[in-house]
Amino acid sequence: MRKLAILFFLIFGLWSKDFLVNGEKFTLKYPGPVIESEGRTVYRGGKNSYYIVPFSCEGKLRWLELIFEKGTYTLLLDREPLFSSSEELYEPRGLCYEGQTIISVGVKDRFLVFWGKNEYWIPPVLGPEVKPSLKIKTGLPYIEFSEYFRGKFLKRGSFLPPQAPAFRPPVKTPKKPFWFNYSLAPNKYIAFGDSITYGCGYRTCQHDPPIGYPPRLEKLLNERLGPSQVVNRGIPGEETREGVLRINSVLEEEKARYLLLNEGTNDVVHAEYPLSVTEESSRYLIETSLGYGTYVVYSTIIPRKDWFWYAPYFHNKLLSIVKLQRKLAKEYRLPLADFYKAFMANPDWMDELLSDGNHPSRKGYQLMAQVWEETIETIPPYPPHDFSAIPAAGRVYLSWKGGGEADLQGFLLCSQGVCLDLGLRFSWTLSPTDLVEMSLYSYDKAGNKSQPMEIDFSEKR
């Protein structure tokens, strides 16, 4: 036994490995293990250490230790227990992001991320072999999965949410059925989505002029409804849950009355999270916009012709997302631009409407613009507001303001089932004896009528 111990020491006692942490050189030596820097011992791990993972954050060396002892796996950060489990833990990793440590570890077939005081559980993903890893790319932390599918490994990146409470933050409750924010630009539309909104196609996003739907839609709106502006806020590669990260800032920056929401195409190809994540993220986008007073024009995603379309799992996921989007539009009473239906109505949609695996051709983008415009035409105008009634010289002078829509056609003053078309007049006079319960509506070129402004003079007669 003593000879065996001596042999073990001769073999492992001289083993060492150099490594860099943010450019700083360290040496890992066994037995111990021992981490040394510039000749000094930084840390000596226990004999049951499965991993020691050093990393640097804000100029300070941090280390993770994974220990298995008495049937329990324990993950420690700087010698303080972080997480314990009877399930196997593997591949601990530490990152430094904006001065904060982000720790990840595999827990059997799941992935656990510690960000500040919050925990994020990443559910099981497709494929018999999954190797998640935590990385930094373009300044943001994300998890990359290696999935073995149909004989080859697929690399997928999935950005994490920022540090936030586990519950969804409260939003301003809209008045039924919608909170009208008259301070927002009335004829401004935010095109919010991914590369399809951005205007990619033909395997590139570099087009001048852009080939996407926003400029086409703006032209149609100008022709049919009046002066309008469509702002392109599409980001290539964005998943629905990544849109959650920026929706508040976009709403605040643009101050537009309408949001054209087209997200979900990239959710199809990421198998590492279920449909429930897409639903929760979509609800957040919708409710946040409505709470801000920005009216949401929702849409379904388009079909595709790459290999994801033919893989049963991903094909069914695409159909499930389309079904979900139709359900949410009905639940929130939102106008729906059903692009999936519009594309599938063309027997040659693969050749005519798509330029590559998942981006529209110029004809496809024009179709999207037309469907958007037709859907927008069904939106009723805002009801009149800032109503006042001023008595003068035996008459009562009524005045109000409109919503400012470019296609506003006029107002209807209704009482006891009879309506008077006032055209684009913003005032009217009545005798005191005519002051009864009334309703004042706005209407547009398409004949859509707003919710009524209810006027009740019964107590003043």
Tokens of 257: 């009355």
The lowest-confidence range among 43-52, 318-327, 333-342, 373-382 is: 43-52
Q: Which residue has the higher pLDDT, 408 or 60?
A: 408
Is 70 exceeded by the pLDDT of residue 72?
A: yes
Q: Where does the pLDDT of residue 436 fall: very low under 50, low under 70, confident under 90, or very high at 90 and above?
A: confident
The lowest-confidence range among 173-187, 278-292, 299-313 is: 173-187
pLDDT in tens, 83-99: 888 888 887 888 887 77
Written in H, E and C, the secondary structure of the chain is: CHHHHHHHHHHHCCCEEEEEECCEEEEEECCCCEEEECCEEEEECCCCEEEEEEEEECCEEEEEEEEEECCEEEEEECCEEEEEECCCEEEEEEEEECCEEEEEEEECCEEEEEECCEEEEECCCCCCCECCEEEEECCEEEEEEEEEECCEEEEEEEECCCCCCCCCCCCCCCCCCCCCCCCCEEEEEEEEECHHHHCCECCECCCCCCCCHHHHHHHHHHHHCCCCEEEEEECCCCCHHHHCCCHHHHHHHHCEEEEEEECCHHHHHCCCCCHHHHHHHHHHHHHHHHHHCCEEEEECCCCCCCHHHHCHHHHHHHHHHHHHHHHHHHHCCCCEECHHHHHHCCCCHHHHCECCCCCECHHHHHHHHHHHHHHHCCCCCCCCEEEEEEEECCEEEEEEECCCCCCEEEEEEEECCEEEEEECCCEEEECHHHCCCEEEEEEECCCCECCCEEECCHHHC
Tokens of 59: 């100029």
How far is residue 279's CA from residue 210's CA, in Å, rounded to a whole number?
Answer: 30
Tokens of 405: 């829509």
**Which residues fall within 8 angstroms of residue 285, CB to CB, at 6 or more apart?**
192, 240, 243, 244, 247, 261, 263, 296
How far is residue 275's CA from residue 406's CA, in Å, rounded to a whole number?
Answer: 39
Q: Where does the pLDDT of residue 120 fall: very low under 50, low under 70, confident under 90, or very high at 90 and above?
A: confident
Q: Which of 5-9, 203-207, 280-284: highest mean pLDDT?
A: 280-284
How confident is the model at residue 10, as a pLDDT? 43
Written in H, E and C, the secondary structure of 140-175 is: EEEEEEEEEECCEEEEEEEECCCCCCCCCCCCCCCC
Is 90 exceeded by the pLDDT of residue 56?
A: no
Rounded percentage of the chain residues whose pLDDT exceeds 90: 44
The lowest-confidence range among 29-38, 58-67, 192-201, 445-454 is: 29-38
pTM of this structure: 0.64
Of 399, 411, 400, 422, which is closest to residue 444 (Cα–Cα)?
A: 411
Is 80 exceeded by the pLDDT of residue 307?
A: yes
Domain boundaries, the chain: 16-159, 185-376, 385-460
b/e 197-232 (16+ beta carbons within 10 angstroms → b): bbbbbeeebeeeebbbbbbbbbebbeebbeebebbb
Is 50 exceeded by the pLDDT of residue 207?
A: yes
How far is residue 313's CA from residue 317's CA, in Å, rounded to a whole number?
Answer: 6
How far is residue 113's CA from residue 134's CA, in Å, rounded to a whole number?
Answer: 9
How confident is the model at residue 434, as a pLDDT? 76
**Which residues fall within 8 angstroms of residue 42, CB to CB, at 6 or more apart?**
26, 35, 36, 54, 61, 63
Residue recorded with tokens 């684009």: 424
Is 90 exceeded by the pLDDT of residue 353?
A: yes
For 43, 71, 131, 225, the CA distances from 67, given in Å and listed in that order, are 15, 10, 20, 67
Tokens of 350: 């693969």
How far is residue 234's CA from residue 359's CA, in Å, rounded to a whole number?
Answer: 13
Q: Where does the pLDDT of residue 32 fall: very low under 50, low under 70, confident under 90, or very high at 90 and above?
A: low
How confident is the model at residue 138, as a pLDDT? 55
CB of 424 within 8 A of CB of 410? Answer: yes
Q: Tell me which fold the domain 385-460 belongs to.
A: Immunoglobulin-like (2.60.40)
Q: Which residue has the higher pLDDT, 335 or 36?
A: 335
How confident is the model at residue 84, as a pLDDT? 87
Question: Phi then psi for 218, rounded to 5 degrees?
Answer: -60, -40
- The order of strands in the sheet holding 395-401 is 385-392, 395-401, 427-430
- Cβ burial, residue 415 (10 Å; 0-12/13-18/19+): middle
Is 80 exceeded by the pLDDT of residue 263?
A: yes
How confident is the model at residue 111, as a pLDDT? 79
CATH match of 185-376 with 3.40.1710.10: no
What does the pLDDT average to over 30-47? 58
Q: Where does the pLDDT of residue 2 fall: very low under 50, low under 70, confident under 90, or very high at 90 and above?
A: very low
**Same-fold call for 185-376 versus 385-460:** no
Q: Where does the pLDDT of residue 67 fall: very low under 50, low under 70, confident under 90, or very high at 90 and above?
A: confident
How far is residue 22's CA from residue 420's CA, in Å, rounded to a whole number?
Answer: 75
Q: Which residue has the higher pLDDT, 52 or 147?
A: 52
- Round the average pLDDT of the chain to a whole number and report it: 80
Q: Which residue has the higher pLDDT, 310 or 157?
A: 310
pLDDT in tens, 410-424: 999 988 788 889 999
What does the pLDDT average to over 8-14? 44
How confident is the model at residue 168, as a pLDDT? 33
Longest CA–CA separation in the chain, Å: 117
How confident is the model at residue 416, as a pLDDT? 79
How confident is the model at residue 16, as a pLDDT? 61
pLDDT in tens, 123-166: 654 444 455 667 766 566 666 665 544 444 445 555 555 443 33
Is 70 exceeded by the pLDDT of residue 24?
A: no
How far is residue 409's CA from residue 425's CA, in Å, rounded to a whole number?
Answer: 10
Q: Which residue has the higher pLDDT, 52 or 402?
A: 402
